[in-house]
Amino acid sequence: MPKVFYLAYGSNLHPLRLQERVPSARVVGVIELSGYQLVFHKQSNDDSGKCLLSKTLDILCKIYVVLYEFDISHKAALDEAEGIGNGYDEELMSVTLDGSDYRAYIYMASITHINSALIPYTWYKNLVIAGARFHNFPVDYIESIESVPSREDLNESRQTKNQNLLERMFTYQ
């Protein structure tokens, strides 16, 4: 089966989360990207902020992403879960890891879905932190995510579902 490559930077960082959406997902490695910052201003259909990569002219700004590969037959499921055409657009990005070049899909927020007044739900921010910790991102990068203001989700079923996912992530090997 042909493979595609994908760059995760938000709630899909952790392999458990991604494998529940894309069963064939396999970690290739972690990549540092300069000239971007991670913010939580992508308008979600639940009225909270989700992750987006914001380009910056400051070359000292950097983010960390995880390069995954998976069967091309699973791409449509990830497109649907991410909301292609409804807040995220897909782009192909060229990246290098361990001397090998890759063309990987990445989901970038549509300009129509960016609102800097938004903040994430606490469970969502914790999904991102769990993925960053799993991949041993630098401590200062994780601390910058932890410092993002967040709010509790008043939808109890969504809150419980995601809390259960977080608990499973903590025991994932």
pLDDT (tens digit per residue) in 35-57: 999 999 999 989 899 999 999 98
Give the residue from 15, 30, 24, 23 showing the smallest Cα distance to 102. Answer: 30
pLDDT at 60: 86
Work out the mean pLDDT of the chain and round it to a whole number: 95
pLDDT at 86: 85
- Give every CB contact of residue 38 below 8 A, 6+ residues apart in sequence: 9, 10, 51, 52, 53, 54, 63, 144, 145
**What is the span of the domain harbouring residue 161?**
3-171
The CB density around residue 135, as the number of other CB atoms within 10 Å, is 17
**59, pLDDT greater than 90:** no
Give the residue from 5, 49, 47 showing the smallest Cα distance to 26. Answer: 5
CATH of the domain at 44: 3.10.490.10
Per the structure, the count of domains in the chain is: 1
Residue-wise pLDDT for 73-131, tens only, equals 999 999 999 988 889 999 999 999 999 999 999 999 999 999 999 999 999 999 999 99
- Specify the amino acid at residue 118: L
